[in-house]
A and B are shown apart, each in its own frame.
Chain A
Amino acid sequence: MQRTGPAGWQNDLTPITPSDWNYEFASHLLERAGFGGAPEEIQTLARLTPEAAVRRLVYFQNIPNDLPAFDHSGVHDPGLEPFPESRPAVTKLAKEKGEALGIKVKPGGDRPLQPIVNKFFYWLRASVIETQRVAYWWANRMVATRRPLEEKMALFWHGHFAVNEAKVRDYRKTLGQLELFHKHGTGNFRDLMVAVAKDPAMLSFLDAGVNVKGAPNENFAREIMELFTMGVGNYSEKDIREAARAFTGWNYVDLTFVVNKDRHDSGPKTFLGSTGNFDGVDVIDIILKQPVTARFIAGKVYRFFVRQELAPEMQERLGALIRNSDYKIAPLLEAIFLSRDFYSPASVGTQIKSPIQLAISTFKKLGLKEAPGVPDFNVATGALGQRLFSPPTVAGWAEGRAWVTPGLLLERGNFARDILFPDINFLPSDRYNGAADIRTVAVKIRQGLDISTATMPDRGGETGLAESNMLADRDEDFNTRYGSFRGWQMAIEKVKPIPRQAARIDLSRMVADAGLKNTTEVVDYFVRRFMRVAPADEKRRILTSFLDGELRTSDIAVAKTYMEDSLRLLLHLIMSEPEYQLS
């Protein structure tokens, strides 16, 4: 069966025809437009015409979404709003007002500010842990959905409009932003851009709240142009300053967008050659009129779904396509997924899987119905370089080769091992805090020590304590280390636990169901089921002889009752191969 079209298909946007279509093409499509799948899922697409298969993925609104909504633990309360920017800001506020975070300062005694400091740390930790639950909820959607492109596109936008919970410090805002990606992901880019610009997650992340008349803060305007719409080099520093003025006064109160009229600069601005009393939406509309914007967005979508190298002439055509459809994303996706270019040798099997893609597609190919609780999805994908709601910078994740280093390649194999052979010393990161100082404080408090003694750092022996460790030892109207410990304790009481079911895997059953007779067939089946790029023939022989050695037979009928662990070793070896990282 042809795995790719001819080399001449590269850069050819002509749609493929039903006579080109086969199981391998359908497998490639599902891999990229979704997260891959078990053979039955691929077969379903392969039986359609290419046009019908692509439309089924792109126009997914016809398929009902029967997945549950996020189940909030109930960790937020109105006293937390507006949440101050730092612990010093909280204690300063408390000293000035006699109250902060909905808690009054104690009239006297030791550490009258302690309950307030505890609550400050409580919310930081509760939001972090609840974000882990949101990420699990999303990962489970990616695994279980019947509309995979909806999730894949949301993942794309999450990298594009990258917002980090660590800065926003409110899981409700990052969840709200994800809902926008689900809602507008394949719709109109203008709707999405405006919605994102008015969304508290982005407003908070890019400090829009402090962008006020007379003193514009440029962060928001700069990133909108540089990263979200046009790319660097297509506007001047003056354009940034003028755009920043147009966004002045944009802010949020809790989860609601507001415009502070008296802080909005309503004067005339000259932006990208136009002059007027522009506000933020006007600025976005002017940006969208620039031909470079359509090219930029189309190029970024292409690189995410197809490959990193994009010929300028192709980018021009894709940009025209999106501009002519009034910035609708779905027609662009449809054209890309149907194009010969998408099935050319330059595109097939040449993408290095992102960590999220690696994890979700591994689960799906194993036939799992949900992300396993062990290993922890967030810790595992984070160690591989991509943790949901935690992109490294506002530029999102660097895709492509940046995903793999020598260290991370080994880590990918170890991840596979952790799925196939769950660690029995596993500690759940939503309950157990690995930070040494929190654990030490917990032990000392239990021993009945007073707070000052219990929070004294242990280290500093012969060479003395570093400045930062001396400074962290604050013990005055409150104790920071105690607050950090107590905040964690309060958070794990409130946040619901993440279920910790390990993956239920039955490879023996998989082999039996596929009717495989001998070890050569098993290796071929695993390679085909799990890999998009097969390893060298010599490697196949090595794997077969490995399995023969483990089973002491090549006859599956002989080995069927005892082969499970050996099959898992085989699969661990396959998933550790460099080729397994390719999609």
Chain B
Amino acid sequence: MKSQFTRREVLRAGLYGVGIGAAGIVPVPPLFASTAQALGAQISNNGRILVVLELSGGNDGLNTLVPYADDAYYRLRPKIGIRAGSLRKIDEHFGFSSGMAGFERLYKEGTLAVVHGCGYENPSFSHFTSMAYWHTAAPNRGDEYGWVGRAADAISPKAPPNFLVNIDTRQSLAVRSRVHTPLVFDDPNKFTRDGFYEERDVFARVADPGGVENPSRRYLLDIARSAKSASALVKEAWAKYKSPVDYGITGLDLPKVAALIDAGLPARLYYTSYRNNAFDTHVFQGDVHQRILTYTSDAVSAFMQDLKRIGRADDVAVMIFSEFGRRVPENTSLGTDHGAANLMFVAGGKVKGGHYGKIPSLTNLDAGDNLVYTTDFRRVYATMISGWLGFQDAPAILNGKFETFDMFV
């Protein structure tokens, strides 16, 4: 049944999605203060790994998976709409942008889920605000901790080191956690102390943050302990990792994730991003957007191939999102402005490929010419938390109950 969803089934799959129920929100009392203790009994230990890939800048979902059968698409995008002939068609309605051979392959082998119409009420058109909402799973509100960080707190309240990994030059709000110190690094070759032999005894002693009043100093001492516990592991994992798989021109940070998984790091949550607002395509978006989609598609499909090689494809799922989609009508600069609802993707060996959620209408737009969301993005988060990671009380992490998708084999 994998990739044989017909158009009718697509729509049916999305029928959760009509009216008020679209968002599927049932507020629950905030449990979070006591999450760590109260939920200890439900700790999930299915060993599965979640990798979150953020496409920063607001990916143009309509030019990623193009609804070529919908005339409205070409009417609203007369110049930048991608002609049906150059697409990589996956069914009678949709086709991937021409460079996305990797996504096409994953879709056709039935391991890529496409979730339509993901967004939230009263969308923000600010990159930074909207991204913060996605990072915290708290639209129009925000939270001190990120949703991945809160998931780590709930799933692993004793906070063993290296449970939560963020590969980037800076820590994302998404991984900000109450009890975990996320392992954050960028270049594994540089994640090492270049110490002299004579200095090793001094470097071996990391001060205890206990009793320190200056909060910045305490923070740095915590960081120093994390660095000490992780750097040797990461360096060794990276040195041992050799893959014949071609990740393409950038590879993003996925080879590093593969290396750590291969080395058996205890991490179950990885967070990484296509950085620096790369997807913010206001002007002349055609070539550049196609290029970065190609890089993304190459990297993700290579990652899945690499996981197969090391025998871990069934243990890992990759969830891909962006802070918003883009305005449906093109602008006059051959680009698109900040929009609202968008696609999310989930790839993995155990993923039931196909379409999820209701496809948003291209003719019934909101006042600002944006897609009206049909799927609260937290439904996908909830799906990853309970459906994938096996932690049943997703509402405690997401501060609300969200209907999940039946997405995994």
Contact = CB atoms under 8 A, between A and B. Distances in A.
A115 to B, nearest CB: 21
B216 A352 contact: yes
A468 B198 contact: no
Contacts of B241: none
B295 to A, nearest CB: 5
Nearest to A349: B214
B216 A539 contact: no
A582 B221 CA distance: 12
Contacts, number: 208
B223 A404 contact: yes
Contacts of A467: 99-102, 248, 294, 297-298
A582 B275 CA distance: 27
A226 B282 CA distance: 17
A395 B277 CA distance: 10
B35 interface: no
A207 B170 contact: no
Nearest to A462: B244
B177 to A, nearest CB: 13
A451 interface: no
A401 B217 CA distance: 10
Contacts of A398: 170
Interface size on A, as a range, is: 35 or more
Given A207-B283, A472-B249, A550-B198, A578 B224 contact: yes
B202 interface: yes
Given A352-B216, A468-B249, A578-B221, A392 B276 contact: yes
Given A398-B170, A543-B202, A393 B294 contact: no
Interface residues of B, number: 77
B249 A466 contact: yes
A350 B218 CA distance: 10
Interface string A197-216: 00000000001001010110
Interface in A462-488: 462-469, 471-472
Contacts of A352: 216, 219-220
Nearest to A465: B246
A407 B337 contact: no
B125 A573 contact: no
A222 B125 contact: yes
Contact of B333 (A217, A383, A569): A217
Contact of B126 (A222, A401, A405): A222
Interface in A367-412: 383, 385, 392-395, 398, 401-411
A67 interface: no
B192 A459 contact: no
A401 B175 CA distance: 14
Interface string B222-263: 011011001100000000000011111110000000000000
A578 B126 contact: no
A546 B128 contact: no
Contact of A578 (B207, B230, B295): B207
A413 B169 CA distance: 16
Contacts of A514: none
Contacts of A401: 171, 216, 219
Contacts of B219: 352, 401, 404
A469 B221 contact: no
Contact of A89 (B203, B230, B284): B284
Given A86-B288, A407-B227, A467-B294, A232 B124 contact: yes
Nearest to A206: B282
Interface stretch (B143-151, B183-191, B356-364, B396-404): B183-191
Nearest to B215: A350
Interface of B: 56, 99-102, 124-129, 166, 169-171, 181, 183-187, 190-196, 198-199, 201-203, 205, 207, 214-217, 219-221, 223-224, 226-227, 230-231, 244-250, 275-277, 282-284, 287-288, 291, 294-295, 297-298, 302, 305, 331-333, 335, 337-338, 368
28 contacts: A217-B283, A219-B337, A233-B129, A349-B214, A349-B216, A351-B216, A392-B169, A392-B277, A395-B127, A404-B220, A405-B169, A407-B185, A407-B227, A410-B190, A413-B195, A414-B190, A414-B194, A467-B99, A467-B298, A469-B298, A533-B217, A535-B207, A536-B207, A539-B207, A569-B198, A572-B196, A576-B193, A578-B221
